[in-house]
């Protein structure tokens, strides 16, 4: 039975989520994500299942309800410590269960009913150096006048492969603000499909990828304006070092009847090493004649004139580069509306840019 004006998450209500930090019964392996804020309500999803249940993550915010606190959902990939690689006559042999545990198909669902409001923070982590393969489907539905602010922080180790498909539907006067922060991961692919099915729907998509070593990060967006008077804005930024690579494919589709649509799209890339590779392809597919649409992409390097100016003021070369990188990322991180969360995520981005995570490249938790 669902209580009125209370959020149902899996089998747990928000009241049951408080102080829910432990992801397993083994306290020796206690894990705490260091992003959480004071007052945030947290839930662990371990290998696709809500902690201590057999259910996938599902959130329903009832009509007219507003979640009082940020809901943090911590997605954890882990391997049973009893399952490992053994040796037979000196030859490594994997337990047959290991491969099954490394591959995961999972699904999450978010339903924002009419006039509801919520702020969510999704964090992805790996707790061992196994080569995890995660294929995730996230269904997001916003009914009329609903508002959702969703931040997705991806921080897995460099052997992990994570593909996430986001299927999003926005009804009339709804607003979705979605921010991706991809700090770590061997191969990360975010596929985002948004269908704007009600007039005056508003969609804000932002993303920041920080890639080095051999990391590969891809963002694919299909944003469909299907009715008149809708607004969308996309801003995705990438910083690449070493032999890393990023791919951006973005398509804005405006249907014939979707007059008075406004759609903006930009992808900006900063390359720190000649070996890094960027592929970017923003696209417009417009069938209406009374619209405002633009798109663009840039690929560049650190500004040498700005470096010279800062060095002439006594700033070291290393620090001058860091300041430029932080300036490049600021319009993504500073758009976060919760001040305490903005401060924490800005700190994580700065640590990543300063190489503090990369120095612990073999740490599965990446010291978040």
Query: What tokens does 245 get?
Result: 């690579």
Q: Is 244 a member of any domain? A: yes
pLDDT for position 97:
62
> Is residue 319 domain-resident?
no
| Residues 235/266, Cβ–Cβ less than 8 Å | yes
106: in domain: yes
pLDDT of residue 170: 98
How high is the mean pLDDT of the chain? 85
In a domain, 242, yes or no: yes
Which structure tokens are listed for 95? Answer: 């337990």
Which pLDDT does position 102 carry in this prediction?
86
Average pLDDT over residues 240-256: 96
Residue 367 lies in a domain: no
The neighbouring-strand residues paired with 294 are: 264
Instruction: Say how far apart CA 127 and CA 157 lie, in whole Å.
Output: 9
Highest mean pLDDT, choosing among 31-35, 40-44, 82-86, 93-97: 40-44
- Count up the domains in the chain and report the number: 1
In terms of residue numbers, what domain contains 120?
Answer: 8-79+97-303
- Which tokens is 240 given? 């690449």
Query: What does the DSSP assignment read for 69-123?
Result: S-EEEEEEE---TT--EEEETTEEEE-HHHHHHHEEEEEEEEEE-TT-EEEEEEE
What's the pLDDT band for 95 if we cut at 50, 70, 90?
low
> Could you tell me the pLDDT band of residue 35, with boundaries at 50, 70 and 90?
low
Q: Is pLDDT of 18 > 90?
A: no
What's the confidence (pLDDT) of residue 28?
Answer: 32
In a domain, 331, yes or no: no
Supply the pTM of this predicted model: 0.86
CB 304 within 8 A of CB 274: no
Alpha helices for the chain (secondary structure H): 14-17, 96-102, 304-312, 317-333, 339-353
Q: Cβ distance 285 to 256 under 8 Å?
A: no
Q: Which residues pair with 13 in a beta bridge?
A: 8
Domain assignment of residue 330, yes or no: no
Q: Does 323 reside within a domain? A: no
Tokens of 255: 């249907």
User: The tokens of 298 are what?
Assistant: 């840039």
Q: pLDDT tens across 223-243, in order?
A: 999 999 999 999 999 999 999
Per-residue model confidence as pLDDT tens digits over 126-179: 888 888 999 999 999 999 999 999 999 999 989 999 999 999 999 999 999 999
pLDDT of residue 36: 60
């Amino acid at each position: 039975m669902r209580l009125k004006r209370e959020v149902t998450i899996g089998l747990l209500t928000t009241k049951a989520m408080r102080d829910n930090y432990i992801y397993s019964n083994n306290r020796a392996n206690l894990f705490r994500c260091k992003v959480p804020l004071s007052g945030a309500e947290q839930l662990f999803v371990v290998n696709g299942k809500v902690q201590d249940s057999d259910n996938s993550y599902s959130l329903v915010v009832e009509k007219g309800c507003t979640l009082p606190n940020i809901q943090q959902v911590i997605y954890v990939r882990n391997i049973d410590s009893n399952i490992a690689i053994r040796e037979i006559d000196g030859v490594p042999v994997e337990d047959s269960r290991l491969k099954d545990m490394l591959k995961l198909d999972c699904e999450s669902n978010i339903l924002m009913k009419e006039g509801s409001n919520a702020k969510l923070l999704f964090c992805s982590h790996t707790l061992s150096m196994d080569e995890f393969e995660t294929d995730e489907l996230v269904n997001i539905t916003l009914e009329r006048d609903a508002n959702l602010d969703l931040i997705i922080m991806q921080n897995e180790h460099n052997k992990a492969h994570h593909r996430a498909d986001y299927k999003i539907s926005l009804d009339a006067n709804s607003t979705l603000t979605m921010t991706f922060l991809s700090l770590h991961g061997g191969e990360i692919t975010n596929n985002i499909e948004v269908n704007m099915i009600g007039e005056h729907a508003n969609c804000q998509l932002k993303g920041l990828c920080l890639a080095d070593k051999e990391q590969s990060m891809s963002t694919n967006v299909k944003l469909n304006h299907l009715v008149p008077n809708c607004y969308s804005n996309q801003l995705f930024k990438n910083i690449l070092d070493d032999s890393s690579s990023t791919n951006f494919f973005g398509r804005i589709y405006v249907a014939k009847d979707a007059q008075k649509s406004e759609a903006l799209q930009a992808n900006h890339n900063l390359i720190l090493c000649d070996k890094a590779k960027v592929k970017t392809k923003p696209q417009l597919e417009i069938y209406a004649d009374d619209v405002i649409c633009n798109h663009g992409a840039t690929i560049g390097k650190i500004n040498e004139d700005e470096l010279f100016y800062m060095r002439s003021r006594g700033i070291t070369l290393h620090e001058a580069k860091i300041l430029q990188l932080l300036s490049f990322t600021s319009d993504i991180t500073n758009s976060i509306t919760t001040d305490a969360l903005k401060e924490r995520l800005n700190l994580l981005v700065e640590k990543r840019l300063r190489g503090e995570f990369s120095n612990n490249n073999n740490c599965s938790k990446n010291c978040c």
